[in-house]
């Protein structure tokens, strides 16, 4: 044994699974004053029960899980509900927020705010600790009082207008809303002062909204019920997008696409979305039920997984371009439901025209193939995603393609641990994408 690793007499080495370190690092942030004794007990048990962490029914393991969950939720809430108020004027302005977390999460969460608000000078004050970013250095200091934080600034009115505009009275579910935005956070949110009025007026507002709604059924119902279709016309060149000089022109031309029969049953073409200057393009398979109705890619359940992972990887979707290998929804009607059906090679090949068009206009540095259909379309041959995920393949034309899974793969996994593990792997891939762009 080398000099540096020599143990003091009488001491022993304790080995614990790596997962314990990760779980303990989160649980130790919990506000429960017994957390140290609890973690010490677990450590002690792990000496004689090395597989303890795998016993999900063990009360200590359940408690460890619950503590972690509560801390993670608190971290998430802090990210969602911190509201900065400006003090001072440009160029000396600073932004200060008051927040009351349930747990000791300030230090853990501060790097997220540094990444998000790198260019601002800000401080987050809480009763137990404060984080201060001067634009170059992050400092963690002792707690503060609410009076130390400013109360109102000019951005309050902006928040209120924003919230007023996005509020949908027909969707109001008070319980769900309070679960997402518990009342304890309301007092620090400028927009919260509107909530009681919005709730009180929601019934009336919803009735008004219904009265204003068109009385025709959703477009896809009309299409599905129609028995006879007009014979598809041969696309004129200007409709076919060959002349398109911008994404907007290509999108317009694709509205009339008849390159394969999928247009007949779908509600509309779902073209890609995002800035033409994007350096990253994400390519999925095809729009799903919700995308078909909204006319936008990745807005349904798979889109939610995608958005959450991007957020966790701190990759802003708004600076990326998101599209699909196939631009029409392919489905099997089952009763009232429309069940996703995989596009065949001919449909993928026909739609490649549009994907190529998007890529030639955007000229991204990296394309991320989400799943096998996207990879096949981009590389022109079948690809074993599970074996090759995380790899970057350079095409003959120099375009770099990063391979990973489709987010709906995670949605299909039933077993919670496996689902979580797959989610972590996907997160790792997306972080790798971000690192490639740094």
Instruction: Give the interface with ligand URA as residue ranges (CB under 6 A).
Output: 284-288, 291, 297-298, 300, 302-303, 324, 408
Smallest separation (angstroms) from ligand URA to the CB of 217? 23
For ligand URA, which residue has the nearest CB? 284
Strand partners, 265: none
Smallest separation (angstroms) from ligand URA to the CB of 320? 13
Cα separation values, 201 from 65, 127, 195, Å: 40, 36, 10
Smallest separation (angstroms) from ligand URA to the CB of 290? 8
Smallest separation (angstroms) from ligand URA to the CB of 270? 6
Helices (H), 167-216: 174-180, 183-186, 195-212
- Listed in sequence order, the residues at least 6 apart from 114 whose beta carbon sits closer than 8 Å to its beta carbon are 133, 138
Smallest separation (angstroms) from ligand URA to the CB of 263? 16
Nearest residue (CB) to ligand URA, 126 versus 373: 373
CB 368 within 8 A of CB 283: yes
| List of E strands, 128-285 | 129-133, 138-142, 280-284
Element (H, E) at 250: helix 247-254
Nearest residue (CB) to ligand URA, 126 versus 408: 408
Whole-number Å distance between alpha carbons of 85 and 82 = 10
Smallest separation (angstroms) from ligand URA to the CB of 437? 22
Nearest residue (CB) to ligand URA, 106 versus 270: 270
CB 267 within 8 A of CB 223: yes
Nearest residue (CB) to ligand URA, 285 versus 347: 285
Strand partners, 307: none
Nearest residue (CB) to ligand URA, 75 versus 260: 260
Smallest separation (angstroms) from ligand URA to the CB of 322? 7
Whole-number Å distance between alpha carbons of 282 and 426 = 14
Nearest residue (CB) to ligand URA, 241 versus 288: 288
Nearest residue (CB) to ligand URA, 190 versus 303: 303
Smallest separation (angstroms) from ligand URA to the CB of 396? 25
CA angle 168, 172, 173 (to 5 degrees): 155
Among candidates 66, 45, 134, which has minimal Cα distance to 96? 134
Nearest residue (CB) to ligand URA, 241 versus 284: 284
Whole-number Å distance between alpha carbons of 349 and 2 = 62
DSSP string, 374-427: HHHHHHSS---HHHHTT-EEE-TTS-EEEEE--HHHHHH--SHHHHHHHHHHHH
């Amino acid at each position: 044994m080398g000099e540096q690793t020599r143990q003091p007499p009488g001491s022993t080495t304790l080995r614990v699974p790596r997962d314990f370190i990760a779980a303990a690092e989160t649980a130790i942030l919990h506000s429960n004053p017994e957390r140290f004794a609890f973690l010490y007990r677990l450590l002690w048990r792990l000496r004689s029960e090395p597989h303890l962490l795998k016993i999900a029914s063990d009360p200590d393991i359940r408690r460890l899980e619950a503590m972690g969950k509560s801390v993670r939720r608190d971290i998430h809430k802090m990210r969602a509900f911190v509201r900065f108020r400006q003090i001072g004027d440009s160029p000396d302005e600073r932004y200060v927020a008051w927040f009351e977390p349930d747990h000791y999460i300030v230090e853990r969460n501060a790097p997220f705010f540094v990444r998000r608000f790198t260019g601002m000078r800000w401080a987050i004050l809480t009763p137990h600790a404060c984080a201060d970013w001067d634009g170059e250095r992050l400092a963690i200091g002792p707690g503060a009082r609410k009076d130390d934080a400013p109360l109102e600034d000019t951005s309050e009115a902006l928040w209120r207008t924003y919230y007023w505009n996005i509020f949908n009275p027909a969707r109001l579910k008070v319980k769900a809303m309070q679960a997402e935005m518990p009342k304890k956070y309301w007092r620090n949110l400028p927009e919260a002062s509107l909530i009681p009025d919005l709730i009180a007026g929601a019934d009336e507002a919803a009735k008004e909204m219904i009265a204003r709604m068109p009385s025709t059924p959703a477009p896809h119902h009309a299409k599905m019920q129609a028995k006879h279709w007009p014979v598809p016309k041969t696309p004129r060149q200007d409709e076919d997008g060959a002349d398109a000089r911008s994404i907007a022109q290509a999108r317009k031309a694709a509205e009339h696409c008849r390159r394969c029969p999928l247009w007949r049953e779908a509600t509309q073409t779902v073209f890609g979305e995002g800035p033409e200057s994007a350096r990253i393009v994400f390519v999925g398979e095809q729009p799903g039920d919700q995308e078909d109705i909204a006319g936008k890619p990745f807005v349904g359940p798979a889109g939610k997984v995608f958005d959450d992972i991007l957020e966790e990887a701190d990759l802003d979707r708004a600076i990326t371009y998101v599209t699909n290998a196939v631009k029409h929804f392919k489905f099997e009607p089952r009763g009232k439901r429309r069940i996703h059906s995989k596009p065949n090679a001919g449909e993928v090949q026909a739609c490649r025209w549009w994907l190529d068009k998007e890529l030639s206009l955007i000229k991204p540095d990296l394309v991320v193939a989400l799943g096998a259909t996207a990879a096949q379309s981009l590389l022109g041959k079948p690809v074993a995603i599970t074996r090759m995920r995380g790899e970057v393949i350079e095409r003959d034309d120099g375009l770099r393609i990063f391979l990973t899974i489709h987010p709906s793969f995670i949605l299909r996994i039933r077993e919670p641990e496996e689902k979580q593990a797959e989610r972590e792997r996907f997160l790792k891939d997306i972080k790798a994408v971000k690192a490639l762009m740094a």
